[in-house]
Amino acid sequence: LGITVACRLAPEDKWPAGGEDVALVMAWIHAHGRRYGADPSRIILMGHSAGAGHVATYLANPSLHEADGTRVAGMILVSGPYNILTLPDGPNTAYYGEDPLRYPACNTIPGLIASGLPLLLAVAENDPIAFEQQASELLATWQEACGRAPRFARLTGHNHVSIVQHIGAQDSFLTEAILDFMHSGR
């Protein structure tokens, strides 16, 4: 069962609006998901690009979780921003605002590691360099903190858009990585 979500947009809605939107979806799934065949104990959150940042914001910030926790089995983050402090061109001020004193709170990497959740991280060979750098930082920090790297997929021949357009299509590399992650117990 898959649920596709659209989040509120900047500049009207600023950080952490995307993470709050994920929290609303999680609350809805826990309240109504069984009616559609969802098993709340097997939820894997996946996001691409800004969506990966929104999923990361939600998972890294327990203040956004329901009173009884996240109840998430894992996360799949594809070509997203995880630490706006190290983005080559700086943060997107339309979403993160212009107050640099708020930026450290937007770094999701410590919270993602602290969550203890299994992670599949993916990037495309032809992603903009910022996404490759963000993935590398998350991988290195995770490895240092946990003593092991999370699952990682780097799709050759793909760009920032085609990486997700090929899920379920003829190039099955990411599809297979996702299915293996979901079925292997991470």
Residue 117 pLDDT > 80 = yes
The overall average pLDDT reported for the chain is 93
Percentage of the chain beyond pLDDT 90 is 83
| Residue bearing tokens 């590399």 | 173
Report the SS3 class of residue 112: helix
CA–CA distance, 52 with 47 (Å, rounded to integer): 4
Residue 1 pLDDT > 90 = no
CA–CA distance, 33 with 108 (Å, rounded to integer): 27
Length of the chain: 186
Residue 95 pLDDT > 90 = yes
Residue 87 pLDDT > 90 = yes
Contact 93, 137 (CB under 8 A): no
Residue 22 pLDDT > 80 = yes
Residue 69 pLDDT > 90 = no
Range scoring the smallest mean pLDDT among 38-42, 99-103, 126-130, 162-166: 38-42
CA–CA distance, 182 with 72 (Å, rounded to integer): 12
60 exposure class (CB count in 10 Å sphere: 0-12, 13-18, 19+): buried
pLDDT reported for residue 166: 87
CA distances 44 to 50, 77, 111, 168, Å, are 17, 10, 17, 17
CA–CA distance, 66 with 122 (Å, rounded to integer): 27
pLDDT band at 143; cut points 50, 70, 90: very high
pLDDT band at 186; cut points 50, 70, 90: low
Range scoring the smallest mean pLDDT among 39-53, 71-85, 171-185: 171-185
Give the residue with greater pLDDT, 101 vs 1: 101
Residue 70 pLDDT > 70 = no
Find the mean pLDDT for residues 47-69. 93
Name the pTM for this structure: 0.95
